[in-house]
Amino acid sequence: MPNKPLAESMRPQSLDDFVGQSHIKQRIRAMMAATRLPSLLFFGPPGCGKSTLALLLARHTGRPFARFSAPETGIAALRKQIANLEIIVLDELHRYSKAQQDFFLPLLENGDIILLATTTENPSFSVTNQLLSRLHVLRLRGLNLAEMVQIAQKGAAHLHEYIPEESLDLLGRQAGGDARTLLNLVEYTSKLDPKERDPNNLSAALPEIVARGDRDGDSHYELISGLIKSIRGSDPDASLYYLACLLESGEDPKFVARRLILSASEDVGLADPRAMPMAVACQQAIEFLGMPEGFIPLAETTVYLALAPKSNSAYAGYLAAMQEIRRNGPKPVPLHLRNASTRLQKEWGYGKGYKYPHAFPESWIEQEYLPPEVRVRQFYHPKQQGEEPRLQTWLQAKKRSAKAPQPGPGKIPRKQDS
């Protein structure tokens, strides 16, 4: 085929020609030497060689096989085409619904077919447990730079075109571990004027590479995890890097803003109470501005959170209270804290003895708020960062002054009392 893409025309025909995935090559060779091939699921990012390995295994058996793509082939069409096949190579298994995946269960159970499927999405979430239990999962990784350069060199040689080594290195970095994207770039570069192939000029001549987004896959969660943990670790450079990875891959900026609000409350917390209003304002700015300008408030908020002092005391305090309740159940609210809405409740003692804090100096008076059963428990443990020491100092000062005589309710304290 004269218009056959370079990535397809260069697809390896033997395992010796295959570049990358050294961690599973020995297992592939063992499967080729076995008398029967098991059903397999190749899981990994795009362009890492999943379909190529599946095709190499299928051809090696010498048995009748065919390759299908889940997005293009419905179950009804697939049912008609597999009558004389022993092996199915199926791309993008995750594109079949959970109900459609059940079609393969009896075929695999009876040994009528060997399924060699591929997926870019985590099979723990995208494949049914019943089908997953009948497949051996092989996890592939994205290709490293050395492997990408090796493939780029092969591509240039295949085209009988000279591309400088530094330019091939640049293409390898641009493709982000995806051999298919890399070979498309090599093919594109081979058609440029020799001057434009020079590494100093090539970047300007290349088409814009849009980072691949995977909102439902592992990279979605890995990148947001990298962002939040970099903020938590007070690294503004790493935080901005992961923010850019998310936005350039097409991630919804509203999702990022929600995560920043969570980080402001969970990781910064009371160490800087201004972080939460800023994160909420960022979310509102995203709604108002949209993209692409929305990256500006997102970047500002990300850097602020990364540089802010950190305290998870409120977050940890809630978890401690939650564990107490789940372990021992909620205890009754003390009578003096209950509202006496009816005459009968007043007779029961609701609200009796309650001290109204605003009636006392600086709106504070010592009294018991916890139920007696948990009165000795402390759930909130302040950190010594940011604003939290000041807040704790204020509270401790109030508790110390509680031992001094207090003016009665309604009394206006003198200046020296306050």
Residue 283 · residue 261 · CB < 8 Å? yes
Ranges of residues in the chain with a pLDDT under 70 are 1-2, 208-220, 402-418
pTM of the model: 0.60
The predicted pLDDT at position 220 comes to 65
pLDDT of residue 80: 84
Q: Which of 230, 216, 314, 222 is nearest to 271 (CA)?
A: 314
Q: Provide the CATH number for the domain around residue 366.
A: 1.10.3710
- The answer to whether residue 355 is domain-embedded is yes
CA distances from 183 to 6, 44, 157, 412 (A): 6, 18, 12, 82
Predicted pLDDT of residue 405: 56
Same domain? For 93 and 185 the reply is: no
> Could you tell me if 43 and 82 lie in one domain?
yes
Q: Return the pLDDT at 280.
A: 95
Domain with 100 in it: 21-139
Select from 224, 225, 308, 316 the least CA-distant residue to 266. Answer: 316
Q: From residue 376, how far is each of 134, 234, 371, 379 by CA, in Å?
A: 54, 35, 10, 10
Instruction: Say how far apart CA 226 and CA 203 lie, in whole Å.
Output: 28
Does a structural domain hold residue 38?
yes
Looking at the fold, whether 193 and 281 belong to one and the same domain comes out as no
Residues 176 and 283 in one domain: no
Nearest to 42 by CA among 55, 33, 30, 29: 55
Give a yes or no: residue 413 inside a domain. no
User: 50: closest CA among 97, 110, 109, 94?
Assistant: 94
| Distance in angstroms (rounded) separating the CA atoms of residues 32 and 310 | 54
- CATH code, domain carrying 26: 3.40.50.300
pLDDT of residue 417: 39
Q: Quick one: 59 and 105 in the same domain?
A: yes
CATH number for the domain harbouring residue 170: 1.10.8
CB neighbours of residue 50 within 10 Å = 25
Runs of H (alpha helix) within 90-176: 98-101, 104-110, 123-126, 129-132, 145-158, 165-175
Q: What is the CATH number of the domain that holds 257?
A: 1.20.272.10
Last residue of a domain, one of 205, 233, 254: 205
Residue of 17, 2, 46, 14 lying closest to 155 (CA atoms): 17
251 lies in the same domain as 190: no
Counting the structural domains of the chain, the total is 4
- How far apart CA 44 and CA 36 sit, in angstroms, is 24
In a domain, residue 316? The reply is no
Q: Are 154 and 123 part of one and the same domain?
A: no
Distances in Å between the Cα of 176 and the Cα atoms of 141, 229, 271, 358, 416 are: 12, 23, 38, 62, 69
The HSE-up count of residue 12 (CA atoms within 13 Å, CB side) is 21
Q: What is the pLDDT of residue 252?
A: 85
